[in-house]
């Protein structure tokens, strides 16, 4: 048998050599798609990491702000309650001194009336004089007593009302901060979903599947970014 390749072997070699130029571009195209996918995943991961870190930090800051505001509201309400009790005590004292004066007046005892009037607080004395000026014993339209006069004011009651308003404002601010913190936590969940999609994408060999996961993750990232921009900034 002559040395060399048989016609069958020669045809096989020619067929294999004819396929090599076509297979090499295909391999090069696969490497290119793989690099594009890897770059897309890396870019998406970097953006999601930054956004998730910011969202988590903002959620923590707003949560702290909510706790501070609610604690301040509770403190203000306690102070308002104390001021209200002090005002009630002062009102009771004014009523007792007026009752003593009225008893002396009905007994027609000027000396006891003078003693009772000396017990009046200066602020109550202003309201008492204004009430007496209306001739209450002969004027049916007069106020029932000095405490019903516009001149009758209690500093503790005014302070209690002001503290109540401050407490309500602090409670509203605390509730608003809690809502904002919850919104940031919700955004963090969206970003965690993006990390999950990119993470499982690396387990697939098909570039098409990884492309789809990258697109879905990018959409979620855009949605989360829009929600972040709609939220208020960090609390002062």
Q: Where in the chain are the domains?
A: 41-230
CA dihedral defined by 46, 48, 50, 56, rounded to 10 degrees? -150
Length of the chain: 236
Q: Confidence band (pLDDT; 50, 70, 90) for 35?
A: confident
| Of the candidates 195, 197, 189, 196, the residue with the CA atom closest to the CA atom of residue 228 | 189
pLDDT tens digit sequence for 103-159: 999 999 999 999 999 999 999 999 999 999 999 999 999 999 999 999 999 999 999
pLDDT at residue 31, as a whole number: 66
- Eight-state DSSP code of residue 206: -
Mean of per-residue pLDDT scores for the chain: 84
pLDDT at residue 32, as a whole number: 67
% of the chain beyond a pLDDT of 90:
55
Is 70 exceeded by the pLDDT of residue 11?
no
CA dihedral defined by 76, 81, 82, 87, rounded to 10 degrees? 120
Least confident of 3-12, 135-144, 172-181: 3-12
Is the distance from CB of 169 to CB of 80 less than 8 angstroms? no
pLDDT at residue 59, as a whole number: 92
User: Within 10 Å of residue 68's Cβ, how many Cβ atoms?
Assistant: 15
Q: What do you get for the CA distance between the two ends of the chain, in Å? A: 96
User: For residue 202, what are its two tokens?
Assistant: 């690396």
User: For residue 170, what are its two tokens?
Assistant: 């602090």
User: For residue 116, what are its two tokens?
Assistant: 């009772």
The number of angstroms, rounded, from the C-alpha of 150 to the middle of its chain's C-alpha atoms is: 41
């Amino acid at each position: 048998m002559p040395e060399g390749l048989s016609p069958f072997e020669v045809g096989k070699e020619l067929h294999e050599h004819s396929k090599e130029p076509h297979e090499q571009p295909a391999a090069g195209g696969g490497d290119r798609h793989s690099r594009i996918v890897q770059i897309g995943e890396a870019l998406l991961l970097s953006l999601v990491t930054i956004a998730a870190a910011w969202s988590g930090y903002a959620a923590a800051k707003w949560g702290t702000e909510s706790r501070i505001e609610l604690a301040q509201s509770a403190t203000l309400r306690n102070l308002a309650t104390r001021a209200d009790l002090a005002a009630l005590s002062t009102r009771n004292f004014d009523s007792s001194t007026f009752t003593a004066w009225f008893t002396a007046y009905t007994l027609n005892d000027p000396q006891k009336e003078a003693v009772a009037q000396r017990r009046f607080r200066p602020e109550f004395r202003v309201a008492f004089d204004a009430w007496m000026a209306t001739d209450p014993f002969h004027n049916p339209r007069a106020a029932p007593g000095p405490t019903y006069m516009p001149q009758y004011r209690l500093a503790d009651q005014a302070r209690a009302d002001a503290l109540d308003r401050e407490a309500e404002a602090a409670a509203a601010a605390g509730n608003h901060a809690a809502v904002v913190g919850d919104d940031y936590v919700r955004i963090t969940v969206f970003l965690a979903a993006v990390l999950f999609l990119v993470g499982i994408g690396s387990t697939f060999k098909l570039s098409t599947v990884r492309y789809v996961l990258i697109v879905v993750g990018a959409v979620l990232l855009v949605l989360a970014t829009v929600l972040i921009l709609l939220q208020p900034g960090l609390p002062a």
